[in-house]
Structure 1
Amino acid sequence: MNVELRHCVDVVQQYALIHCNVSFKLTHNKRVLLQVPKTTNTFANIVAIYRRPVARQLIAVNYSVPGIEIMGFISRPSFTRAARDLQTIFVSGRPVKNQLIIRAVYKGYANLLMTGRHPFVLLNVRVVPEHLDVNVHPAKREVKFEQEDHIYKAVLEAVKSTLTEQAEIPDVAAPGKRNVSKDASKDSYKDASRSTAKTPLVPYAPSYGKDSYKAGAGIKPLLVRDRGEQYEKTQISHKKEFVMDRQEMLDNGESASPGLPQSSSGRLPRMRIIGQLLKTYILAETDSALILIDQHAAQERVLFERFMEQYKDAAMTVQQLITPIPLEVSPDEVVAIEENLEFFSRLGFGLEEYGTHTFLLRTTPQMLGIPFTRELFMDILSELKTAEKSTTPALQKEERIILKACKAAIKANQELTLPEMNKLIAELGACMYPFSCPHGRPTIIRMTQYELEKKFKRVV
């Protein structure tokens, strides 16, 4: 029943987003899951469904070329999710799944999104009926365009030009504080949200020339200056900081680490720490090799195994938040949270219902050791929704959610002291699978004395 209920919520939610001239109400077991009144524009419906924290991050899209009209909203590059659950595509008012349009959207965001992050997308692409085939699939969820190349280019340009026009330096604001920028004006939302049903589309004679969509048009990549001169100066002025006598390195390593004891799993060799490279790698040596440890991958492995162990033993240590974090969520997210309250509790997330579409986050896993934010929890929720749609075994869901939480807890470019490096290596050695992070990347590599001498041409 849960799967069917979520499907119902998704369908009603999609139609409520596009048909602002109709009121929608969805109830289940006498409880109202979704209620959207009749409004004058799509943005008001977005606020009603996705709530204000999401709506504040959106930019209106209003773009047209002969025969194609694209309207809706996309998010600023700074607002993304770990999954694609905030993406809805309509073609002439019909909700569809279309990879051509999605690919064009991501191309428009080129170089602006972090790997694995996904923007909010709500677009209605209108084309003349003669150039559209809706009978591709019995459920009418797939469509085929007569000239896909022109649709792709139009969507790409719509996203690119919108992001270029609205580009701005993000403000540093207190959490929850609303920043009203020029794109958040009422007029822009009304323009992008108006019903396009009354506006006839003129059949187009494609006029896209070679110069219509020039490579690199719109958002320009940042220019990287030649840093050779700067590097030379840095190398000279900081020479003492980087060059250290070998005996001094060994003495420092010995003083903090007289030689690591064999790990409890017996998988890591004894090694002496030399130091840290680029605030990312730990350098160490054995009697016959140089050891490099990716500290971020190692921390992720340690946290993941510890988190999984506490989850399976139902012994998660939690920390009480002094100020609970309010979470305003959409109707389908309400369903997802309510169905997984026990699961979240086992993970250390204490949630309490606070109103129709709001929950209070009162506790978080203590072992993460990071300030918890609304954005992090929403990423975890997105990951949960994605995991539950997969056909993988049940345990996969827990692993994916825990992995997402652990990854967020890792601090990039973190400077470590020798005792901290010692501790991390000892903890890694105690792991069941110490040689790779949960994603499969190696945590540790070795370069033998022979390989080093071969690099310096001392041996053939």
Structure 2
Amino acid sequence: MPIQILDQNTINKIAAGEVIERPASVVKELAENAIDAMATAVTIEIKDGGISFIRITDNGCGIDKGEIPMAFLRHSTSKIKSVEDLMCVRSLGFRGEALSSIAAVAQIELITKTKEAFTGVRYVIEGGKEQNMEDIGAPDGTTFIVRNLFYNTPVRRKFLKTATTEAGYVSALVEHLAFSHPEVSFRFINNGQNKLYTSGNGSLKDIIYHVNGRDIATNLLEVSAKTQDIQISGFIGKPMISRGNRTYENYFINGRYIKSNIITRAIEEGYKGYIMQHQYPFTALHFTIEQSIIDVNVHPTKMELRFSQNEFVYDFVLNAIRNTLSGRELVPEVRLSRSENVPVNKTRPAEPFEVKRMAAEAEKDKKNSTAGLTAALAATGHTLRQAYVSDTIRPKQLREDPAEYKTTAAIEPSAAPAARPPEAPVTETLQKSASPAPEQLSLITPDDTASIPKPVLVGQVFDTYWIIQFEDKMFIMDQHAAHEKILYERTMHRLESGSIDTQIIAPPVILSLNMREKEVVSQNIDIFTRLGFEIESFGGNEYKVTGMPATLPSLDDRELLMDIIDSLMEEGGASSKPELITQRVASMSCKAAVKGNMRMSFAEAQNLVEELMNADNPYNCPHGRPTLISMSKYELEKKFKRIV
């Protein structure tokens, strides 16, 4: 194929691929143009996530009638005149690509009026081709209406996400705009509903309150630092309001929302020692940086920049954060947990470490049970798991697969787990226990159990791992992974049987959520309900939580819920519902499980081992880490050179 120059329409569509990725890109470019036009009020309205309709109205200076057609040509701009101006760009836009890129892939209607003009102008352009231009009555300012984004590039449209997800991207963008320009009043309307309104009074703290809620707004530390080329102002959160992702790490350079690895690392290093690992702080920081040490002309989206003095910027930000945190009163306020201000739910099942209660319930079940010690059926040896097989296995299971209890293989972490049917409801168990025992169980006598070897719990090392001796093997159990697996399977069994319990909490937990978080909760309310949560709207940005899963030990209710919401936001709704539920149960189990570096009594550890050996898959935690590892006596003696 010979070399040829592309036509202007093709050039515009290629350029649009870099600048306009989704509806949020359109909103960003047009809203930034409104701010550059000195607007004090901007209204952003979308429908169907912005795919079918976007309207942005401002009260800025407007566009002169004679300049309107030129504004939709590539690289036409009023922000710069020469290459020298790139060294001192103070406007949000300057490349002159936005309007031509949007016009190439959408149908645009523009209504604008300058203060000096007597009437306004209505201009229509579709697919980069002018359709109409006429005078109309209009207020001062500019209104852009963008319809049917990517209508002429169906391949691009096919890769857009759902309307709800795209609306979430737009809402996050509007929040960033509100943070970066508190002097501008923003209104965001989604499908006819007002989602956000800021007054434009210039108070960043007011914006934080409107967007993030009361909990964060009341736990802020003001940051103010200045050097020759950089000035920082704004707020950071106290360590107690850290989150599980970087959603709340927001900073703005010369009024522009930016993501910089240098600044992010400096902020997180400044919080080191104040917050836990894999937790991230809240920041809303404004940087005013001398144009001579930055370059914003890196990418058409203008989300990246380069510093000419990386080390200087890093050290300055790090010191500003540390100086703000040091010497402050950062002791978190302790509130009564639900176990301290609410009577204990007497019907709640016993937890693994409620040893006395477990023993009492086990004794009661034993009297009603007709099953014997099924491990005595093993004819030629035993495994660690067989030594702990529950005496509540039903007779039907023994008749169907007696070979399962004749294996001689010892447990290995990679071994396949033995299948176990889900727990039957209590009423079903009692009914079955009333039926006469099968004849084959009458062959088991108490004397047969004497030959079953019993594991010996040796002790705990590093406050995390338990050593278990069984026949000629030594097993090491990770107490956190083991407890996590027990809680996970217990909750999953109850989910499958539809019998997961909800414990009412009083007073209820009140959550202050931003727009994206509220969207996530409303989208996945059925998941929260299945997991045992009771959540309802409480007006405005507040949600009321009146019930928590009764299957988990006492946890920080607020922290658990926010961690689940954070992880759902990160996934963006990409996972299917069953996968989401499984992941959430795994996350809840991990949060509720006993941690490493935590001492346990021998009775608690013994109870933990017994429950683990009755799990469907006792060998791995929900995240895939092993719960047990083993080492034979032979291997141990080889290590000590007793065997050559």
TM over 0.5: yes
- Alignment CA distance shift 1:103-1:285 (3 Å): same
Residue 170 of structure 1: aligned partner = 331
- Alignment CA distance shift 1:287-1:175 (3 Å): closer
Residue 517 of structure 2: aligned partner = 333
Q: Secondary structure at the match of 2:173?
A: helix
Find out whether 1:49 has 2:234 as its counterpart: no
Q: Distance in 1 between matches of 2:335 and 2:523?
A: 32
Find out whether 1:428 has 2:612 as its counterpart: yes
Q: Distance in 2 between matches of 1:350 and 1:171?
A: 26
Residue 89 of structure 1: aligned partner = 251
What's the CA shift string for 1:169-195, capped at 9, x where partnerless? 51544369xxxxxxxxxxxxxxxxxxx
Please report how far the alpha carbon of residue 322 of structure 1 lies from its aligned counterpart in structure 2 after TM superposition: 3.4
Please report how far the alpha carbon of residue 361 of structure 1 lies from its aligned counterpart in structure 2 after TM superposition: 0.7
What's the CA shift string for 1:232-285, capped at 9, x where partnerless? xxxxxxxxxxxxxxxxxxxxxxxxx99823588988657513244155333211
Residue 415 of structure 1: aligned partner = 600
What's the CA shift string for 1:7-47, capped at 9, x where partnerless? 11101111111222122221223322112222342112111
Aligned mate of 2:323, from 161, 186, 194: 161
Asked whether the equivalents of residues 262 and 268 of structure 1 are also in contact (C-alpha less than 8 Å), the reply is no
Q: Distance in 2 between matches of 1:129 and 1:386?
A: 34
Residue 9 of structure 1: aligned partner = 171
Worse-matched range after superposition: 393-402 or 118-127: 393-402
Work out which structure has the larger RCO, using CA pairs closer than 8 Å and 6 or more positions apart in sequence.
1
Residue 114 of structure 2: aligned partner = none
Residue 359 of structure 1: aligned partner = 543
Aligned mate of 2:625, from 438, 441, 449: 441
Please report how far the alpha carbon of residue 393 of structure 1 lies from its aligned counterpart in structure 2 after TM superposition: 6.0
Residue 457 of structure 2: aligned partner = 274
**2:387 partner letter:** L
- Alignment CA distance shift 1:80-1:271 (3 Å): farther
Find out whether 1:67 has 2:229 as its counterpart: yes
Please report how far the alpha carbon of residue 452 of structure 1 lies from its aligned counterpart in structure 2 after TM superposition: 3.3
Residue 388 of structure 2: aligned partner = 261
Q: Secondary structure at the match of 1:400?
A: helix
Q: Secondary structure at the match of 1:119?
A: coil
- Alignment CA distance shift 1:312-1:24 (3 Å): farther
Q: Distance in 1 between matches of 2:331 and 2:310?
A: 35
Asked whether the equivalents of residues 350 and 364 of structure 1 are also in contact (C-alpha less than 8 Å), the reply is yes
1:20-419 to 2 correspondences below 5 Å: 20-166=182-328, 168=329, 170-174=331-335, 260-262=387-389, 269=411, 272-278=455-461, 279-311=463-495, 314-388=498-572, 395-412=578-595, 413=598, 415-418=600-603
**1:260 partner letter:** A
Please report how far the alpha carbon of residue 54 of structure 1 lies from its aligned counterpart in structure 2 after TM superposition: 1.1
Identity of aligned residues (%): 29
Asked whether the equivalents of residues 244 and 280 of structure 2 are also in contact (C-alpha less than 8 Å), the reply is yes
- Alignment CA distance shift 1:77-1:327 (3 Å): closer
Q: Distance in 1 between matches of 2:226 and 2:552?
A: 48
**2:624 partner letter:** G
- Alignment CA distance shift 1:262-1:374 (3 Å): closer
List structure 1 segments (4+ residues) > 6 angstroms apart after TM superposition.
Answer: 263-268
**2:291 partner letter:** P
Aligned length: 377
Q: Distance in 2 between matches of 1:120 and 1:169?
A: 14
Q: Secondary structure at the match of 1:402?
A: helix
- Give me the TM-score of the superposition, normalised by structure 2: 0.54
Q: Secondary structure at the match of 1:321?
A: strand
Q: Distance in 1 between matches of 2:494 and 2:471?
A: 37
Q: Which runs of 5+ in 2 are unaligned?
A: 1-162, 338-383, 394-403, 412-452
Q: Distance in 2 between matches of 1:110 and 1:3?
A: 33
**1:73 partner letter:** F
Q: Distance in 2 between matches of 1:91 and 1:271?
A: 66
- Give me the TM-score of the superposition, normalised by structure 1: 0.74
What's the CA shift string for 1:39-67, capped at 9, x where partnerless? 34211211121112112222111112211
Asked whether the equivalents of residues 223 and 236 of structure 2 are also in contact (C-alpha less than 8 Å), the reply is yes
- Alignment CA distance shift 1:395-1:118 (3 Å): farther
Please report how far the alpha carbon of residue 164 of structure 1 lies from its aligned counterpart in structure 2 after TM superposition: 2.0
Please report how far the alpha carbon of residue 409 of structure 1 lies from its aligned counterpart in structure 2 after TM superposition: 0.7
